[in-house]
Amino acid sequence: MNCKNVVQKLPDYLSHTLGEPETVGVRAHLDLCLECREESRLLSASWDMLGLLEPVQPSAYFHARFWEKVRQQENVVLERTGFFAKFPFVPALAGFFVLWVLGVAGGARLFAHRHETATPMEIALNRFTSPYPQNSIEIIFQEGRTPTGRMPVTHQGESL
């Protein structure tokens, strides 16, 4: 066994994971070769030195903090599996309904407002485009006839 082979096998030799015949071969080489023996000593010592790093201990609140995290997580899961998790469409539906109510209410208000206060332009346009004279209502109530001479009828054809 030459030095190159031995150096390759040293980590396994030092961790006792080398097969019996190879272990004997490496040991025999180390007995004779000073350079490889020094290499083996340095490898072993540097590996052992790592053991001098003292382990850290968990801080006082390590356990408490962990279980607090677990509790927080379980609360989130409970929230997710509550009413809205079972019926996920409810919030969307409720939102849609609110928007619909707002739309209808707003539209109705706008419609009413527009009919209460026609703009001067609308009044002028109405005057020119309407087939009825401006005093149609007065004619109906005072003279008992419509401006066209025909009585208004309902949609069903009954006379008013």
Partner 1 sequence: MEDDSPGNVDRDSDESLMRRFQSGDTDAFVLLFNRYSTHLINFANRFLFSQEESEDAAQEVLLRIHNARDRYDASRPFRPWLFSIASRLISNRLRQKKRHPLISLFHSTEDDDSPPVDPPERRGHGPEQNMENQHLATLIQSSLALLPENQRNAVILARFEEMTNEEIAQIMGTSVSSVKSLLFRARQTLKNALKPFIQNQPTPPKSTATF
Cβ within 8 Å of residue 33, ≥6 positions away: 3, 6
Q: How far is the CB of 74 from partner 1 (least distance, A)?
A: 10
Give the interface segment with partner 1, choosing from 12-20, 102-110, 130-138, 144-152 (CB under 8 A).
12-20
84 near partner 1 (CB under 8 A): no
Among 32, 34, 53, 92, contact with partner 1 (rule: CB under 8 A): 53
* Residue closest to 43 by CA, chosen among 26, 55, 22: 26
Among 3, 27, 28, 73, contact with partner 1 (rule: CB under 8 A): 73
55 near partner 1 (CB under 8 A): yes
Q: Give the residue ranges of DSSP H helices in the chain.
A: 3-14, 20-32, 34-49, 62-80, 83-86, 89-116, 120-129, 136-143
**Is the Cβ–Cβ distance between 134 and 128 less than 8 Å?**
no
Binding region for partner 1 (CB under 8 A): 8, 11-12, 14-17, 41-59, 62-63, 65-66, 69-70, 73
